[in-house]
Amino acid sequence: MTQGDHDAMSPRAKSAPAAARPERSEDRADDGPEGSMRKGENDASDLRETVRQQMIASIGGWTGALITAIPTAVFIVVNVAASLRTAIFAAVGAALLLTVYRLARKQSIQQALSGLFGVLVASIIAARTGEARGYFLFGIWTSFAYAVPFAVSIAVRRPLVGLGWEFLDPTPSKDDDPPWYRRPVLLHAYLWATLAATLMFLSRGIVQAALYHRNATGWLAFARIAMGYPLFVATGGFVYLVVSRARRRSADGLSREHGAP
């Protein structure tokens, strides 16, 4: 064996190429402040997308609205045709079948279970009160409960619609730009949007509470369905119109301030 062969097989010779391998610039960047910042931005973006998809799944579209209305319709029809006890079992049975249908179609588990939970609670209240109108008490209570945080957020000038919208789709801005709640155009738009949501929940609670006290069970069912998804779509359309217009006005104003052409 020659001296060259011995040098090539020595541990020092084998390790030399590895030691001489240059460190890539992107490796150093990933370990530095800029890499940490990019990782944080990616994590925030992933979280926003996850929440956005969960919200879309929870709404369910027109199919979800129809599925939500079926147990209520079954409860009313069976209560008129048979008895309260039979109507309760029929509504719960319909909710169980619809839950299985949603899971079989790989829809949101949260959406399926929340619908079943609402029917179970409403049925328990109806059974305890011994009245068909008791089926709608839980929905009346939740409508008023949802209105409270929206109204409080308006009072403290941190509207919930603005908090949610700016989390899911932040308004483009530079580092020296004020936050959205210090921009009058955006703040006023989010206040109006949150007020619309508050009125939606309050109107549901007030109308259905009045029908409850009149023992108008049939009209209660109609109000539950009519003031559910259709009213939500109308309110959502108003919110989108107000907010999207305000965001365009805010972007134009910031462009002028920064001297954009």
pLDDT tens string 147-158 = 999 999 999 999
Return the number of other C-beta atoms located less than 10 Å from residue 254's C-beta: 17
CB distance 251 to 169 below 8 Å: no
CB distance 205 to 143 below 8 Å: yes
Question: Side chain identity at 163, as an amino acid letter?
Answer: L
The mean pLDDT of the chain is 81
DSSP per position, 173-208: --TTSPPGGGSHHHHHHHHHHHHHHHHHHHHHHHHH
What dihedral do alpha carbons 151, 155, 158, 164 form, nearest 10°? 0
pLDDT grade for 216, boundaries at 50, 70 and 90 = very high
Angle at 98 between CA 92 and CA 102, to 5 degrees: 145
pTM: 0.75
pLDDT tens string 90-102 = 999 999 998 898 8
CB distance 250 to 183 below 8 Å: yes
pLDDT tens string 66-97 = 778 899 999 999 999 999 999 999 999 999 99
What percent of the chain is modeled with pLDDT above 90?
54
Check residue 68 and give its pLDDT: 80
CB distance 207 to 144 below 8 Å: no
Check residue 53 and give its pLDDT: 61
